[in-house]
């Protein structure tokens, strides 16, 4: 029986890397604060730092990685992220109704729904239900598009 080879798993450094970035940003932001205010974050940092080192030791050069071996496609997840960010960027300008309607239709189309009629029907129904539910039912002030004669 062959022994499992020990390999350098750089993907295991993603979460510790992000954590380190956040911790550094945090202490940069609070560099002028009193020590009294930072006592608790420093205590937590001591624990986090110890565990950070342990996570790297046990996972970066490990035989058994927790990472799933199955290959995944990143195209669609990135697409969802990109379209969602675009939706939020345009939401204040286009208003809730129009941007939500476009957002749903674009995602339906990109995810493989070819029937325009079904896409338009579901997108319209959800947009209308959400709009009236939130504006009329919950009295919320959603971002609206002023077209002069109608507020969308």
Partner 1 sequence: MEIASLSIIGNGLTTALQFNHLAWILVGMLAGLIIGAIPGFNDTNFLAMMLPLTVYLGPLDSVIFMMSCFCAAQAAGSIPAILLNIPGTPSNATTCLEGFKMTRRGEAGHALGLSIGASTVGGVLSALIALVLAPVVGVYALNFGPAELFMMALFGMTAVGSLTGKSLTKGLFSSALGLFLACVGTEFNEGYTRASFGFFELYEGFPLIPVLLGVFGFSELFTLVNEKNLFTGEKKPVTNFASILGGVKASMRHKLNMLRSGLIGVLVGLIPGTGAAIATWVSYGQARQWSKQPEKFGTGCDEGLVAADACNNGVPGGALIPTVTLGIPGSGTTLVVMAALMINGITPGPSFFSDYAVEAYAILFALLFANLLLLPIGILIARAAGNVTAIPNKYLVPIIALFCLVGAFAWRQMVFDMYLVILFGVLGALLNRYGYSVPAFLLALLLGPLAEQNLHWALAIGGIESFQRPIALVILVATIAVLILPFVLNKMVRRGKIQLP
Q: Which is nearer to partner 1, 140 or 151 (CB)?
A: 140
Q: Which pair of tokens denotes residue 123?
A: 């997108």
Query: Closer to partner 1 at the Cβ: 26 or 116?
Result: 26
Which C-beta is closer to partner 1: that of 47 or that of 149?
47
Estimate the share of the chain in helix, then strand, then coil, as percent rounded to the nearest 5: 70, 0, 30
Q: Which two tokens stand for residue 68?
A: 């799933």
Smallest separation (angstroms) from partner 1 to the CB of 27: 8
- What is the closest distance, in whole angstroms, from the C-beta atom of residue 107 to partner 1 in the complex? 4
State the nearest-atom distance from the C-beta of 75 to partner 1, in Å: 9
Spatial contact of 95 and 145, defined as CB atoms under 8 Å apart: yes
Residue 34: partners with Cβ closer than 8 Å, 6 or more residues away: none
Cα separation, 12 vs 15, whole angstroms: 7
Task: Kindly list the residues in this chain that would bind partner 1 in the complex (CB under 8 A).
Answer: 11-12, 14-15, 18-19, 22-23, 25-26, 29-30, 33-34, 36-38, 40-41, 44-45, 47-48, 51-52, 54-55, 58-59, 66-68, 72-73, 76-77, 80-81, 84-85, 87-88, 91-92, 100, 103-104, 107-108, 111-113, 122, 126, 130, 134, 138, 140-143
3-state SS class at 92: helix
Closer of 115 and 147 to partner 1 (Cβ): 115
Residue 31 φ/ψ, nearest 5 degrees: -65, -25
Q: Which two tokens stand for residue 86?
A: 């675009």
């Amino acid at each position: 029986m062959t022994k499992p080879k020990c390999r350098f798993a750089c993907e295991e450094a993603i979460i510790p890397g992000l954590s380190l970035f956040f911790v550094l940003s945090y202490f940069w932001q609070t560099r002028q604060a009193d020590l009294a205010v930072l006592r608790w974050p420093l205590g937590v940092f001591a624990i986090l730092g110890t565990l950070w080192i342990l996570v790297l030791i046990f996972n970066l050069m490990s035989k058994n990685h927790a990472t799933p071996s199955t290959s995944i496609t990143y195209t669609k997840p990135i697409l969802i992220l990109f379209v969602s960010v675009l939706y939020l960027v345009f939401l204040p300008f286009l208003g809730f109704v129009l941007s939500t309607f476009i957002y749903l239709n674009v995602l339906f189309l990109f995810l493989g729904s070819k029937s325009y009629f079904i896409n338009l029907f579901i997108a319209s129904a959800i947009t209308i239900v959400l709009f009236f539910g939130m504006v009329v039912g919950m009295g919320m002030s959603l971002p609206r598009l002023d077209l002069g004669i109608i507020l969308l």
